[in-house]
Structure 1
Amino acid sequence: MLRTALRPRWLGLLAVALLFVVAFVQLGRWQLGVAEDKALKEQLEAAKKVGVVELSTVLQPHSPFPGELSGRPVRAMGTYAADEQVLVTDRRLDGQTGWWVVTALHTDAGPTLPVLRGFVTSPDAVPAPPAGPVTVRGGLAPAESPVSSAGLPQGQLRSVDLSVLVNQWSGDLYNAFVFLEQQTPASDLTTVPTPRPTPGINWRNASYAAQWWVFALFALWLWWRMVRDAHRQDHPAPAAGEGDPAPRHTDDA
């Protein structure tokens, strides 16, 4: 069968089949990308419909952070504690490396909320938070994984590690922090966008992607089937009885 497959005719058809395979695989990848984009769009639209809620209505201090609250827009009112502030190192925004400014907000509801007020490119150029009452609005986020801060100047961390802040700041700490989007009075810092949710899958478009990949396999199978049929035509199987030794006759005594 290999000799049949190596004939110019079948090699040419194999090249055509491979072109179809490449096209079908790329179409499948495109459909998969569409599936992820649609799922992300649906998640963002659902988040917009939810609207902004008071933080105290969806989360309590010391309680575990529910995954579904990640990115949830919330609002809180309170007063910043200027002496309860940390800088988180090695952060990037718009191609620049700098620090996140995270400040404690003592909310009117009682607990303390870490607020990521914004981004700076120098640890010596951090505007002080407003002195009076403020209203903040932004997206919720869970605590980041702990990272050793050995070797850093005092007041700097390598992650938003709430297990460190709970021992440094006063009040009951929310097990979350907020990416500040709006503040009254307005903030002087460059805000950091709330991370987009991890895209899921739109299964309808994902099924279209699977169909394209099935077509790719079918193209290869069809070529193999044609080669096999051609080989069988060139090398037909012996008819029943052909090639069998002639029966031996013995004379009766």
Structure 2
Amino acid sequence: MTAPRRPGLLTDLGAAALALVLVGIAGFLGKWQYDAWQAHRDAEARDLTGVTPVPMTDVMGSDDPFPAPDLGRPVEVSGEWLEGGFWVADRTLQGEPGYWAVAPLRTGDAAVLVVRGWAPDPDAALLAATGEADVTGWLQAPEGSMVTDDDASDDVFPEIRVADAVQRVDVDLYSAYLVSQEPAEGLHAAELEALPEPSRFTGIRNLLYAFEWWVFGAFAAFIWWRWRRDATAPEGALPSAG
């Protein structure tokens, strides 16, 4: 039986070293992309509700889009209550159906909508808000699932939509609203769901890149294995040249 051919020692070591380098680089880059994917998901789902409050102006300006990474962050704002408050329907508290009482708080040249609390039924006396106030609340993004308002003439809205609320005040509104940590007199503290679930597609490109690099590493290892197998195969096992 013909003895298997052996590649030279330097050739053998060089090929093995090259394969290890390629597999190592692919594994490292794949892990890096995987960590980036996880970081995107963690950033989207992180719970900021317990951090120290900061001034709202440190987080966003009145003309800025909503800062998604700061969803649920406690912020502080001072200002004066404006007319134009409204109720938001279909809000639960410990499983009980009810309404949120919302009022615009003017701060500087703009106003921010503030959820002042929860009530089982709309009550004009509870909705009224006047004077100056210092509010600490959790930052939330305006809603917009395009739910139809059955009666646009009343003070009950189906959602907190800036486009709807801006028609009730004479100043611009922030593209955010606050859920007050301290409910107004006669109201209960509104429940807050400030920890968003990351989308299935959050950072998906990084995840795909990670798999791409790992597949490349596996392919490099396969090429080395195939070369090693052919290089050490018996002469008679190789296909004839013609």
Superposed pair shares fold, TM > 0.5: yes
Partner of 1:95: 95
* Secondary structure in 2 matching 1:164: helix
Write the letter of the residue equivalent to 1:65. F
Partner of 2:104: 104
* Secondary structure in 2 matching 1:65: coil
Partner deviation per Cα, 1:167-207 (whole Å, 9 max, x = no partner): 22121210000010037xx643111133131356xxxxxxx
Say whether residues 1:118 and 2:92 are aligned partners.
no
* Secondary structure in 2 matching 1:131: coil
1:193-232 equivalences under 5 Å are 193-198=191-196
Q: CA deviation at 1:63?
A: 1.9
The RMSD of aligned alpha carbons is 2.6
Structure 1's 47 and 99: CA in aligned 2 closer, same or farther, altered over 3 A? Answer: closer
* Secondary structure in 1 matching 2:181: strand
Partner of 1:127: 126
Partner of 2:66: 65
Write the letter of the residue equivalent to 1:99. Y
Partner of 1:191: 189
* Secondary structure in 2 matching 1:63: coil
Partner deviation per Cα, 1:103-160 (whole Å, 9 max, x = no partner): 01112x3310100011111113642545321100010000001321023651111000
Partner of 2:137: 138
* Secondary structure in 2 matching 1:166: helix
* Secondary structure in 2 matching 1:174: strand
Q: Percent sequence identity over matched residues? A: 25
Distance in 1 between residues matched to 2:92 and 2:50, nearest whole Å: 26
Structure 1's 100 and 47: CA in aligned 2 closer, same or farther, altered over 3 A? Answer: closer
* Secondary structure in 2 matching 1:56: helix
Q: CA deviation at 1:164?
A: 0.8
* Contact 1:79/1:133 (<8 A) preserved: yes
* Contact 1:147/1:158 (<8 A) preserved: yes
Distance in 2 between residues matched to 1:100 and 1:128, nearest whole Å: 9
Structure 1's 157 and 128: CA in aligned 2 closer, same or farther, altered over 3 A? Answer: closer
Write the letter of the residue equivalent to 1:196. A
The gaps in structure 2 that reach 5 residues or longer are 1-41, 199-242
Partner of 2:206: none
Distance in 1 between residues matched to 2:59 and 2:185, nearest whole Å: 25
Distance in 1 between residues matched to 2:112 and 2:161, nearest whole Å: 13
Distance in 2 between residues matched to 1:128 and 1:167, nearest whole Å: 18
Task: Specify the structure having the higher radius of gyration (Cα).
Answer: 1
Partner of 1:204: none
- What's the TM-score, normalizing by structure 2? 0.57
1:174-189 equivalences under 5 Å are 174-182=174-182, 187-189=185-187
Distance in 1 between residues matched to 2:189 and 2:113, nearest whole Å: 14
Q: CA deviation at 1:84?
A: 1.0
Partner of 2:147: 147
Q: CA deviation at 1:43?
A: 3.6
Structure 1's 96 and 110: CA in aligned 2 closer, same or farther, altered over 3 A? Answer: same
* Contact 1:138/1:194 (<8 A) preserved: no
Write the letter of the residue equivalent to 2:77. A
Write the letter of the residue equivalent to 1:197. L
Q: CA deviation at 1:62?
A: 3.1
- What's the TM-score, normalizing by structure 1? 0.55
* Contact 2:137/2:181 (<8 A) preserved: yes
Distance in 2 between residues matched to 1:191 and 1:164, nearest whole Å: 24
Distance in 2 between residues matched to 1:84 and 1:125, nearest whole Å: 12
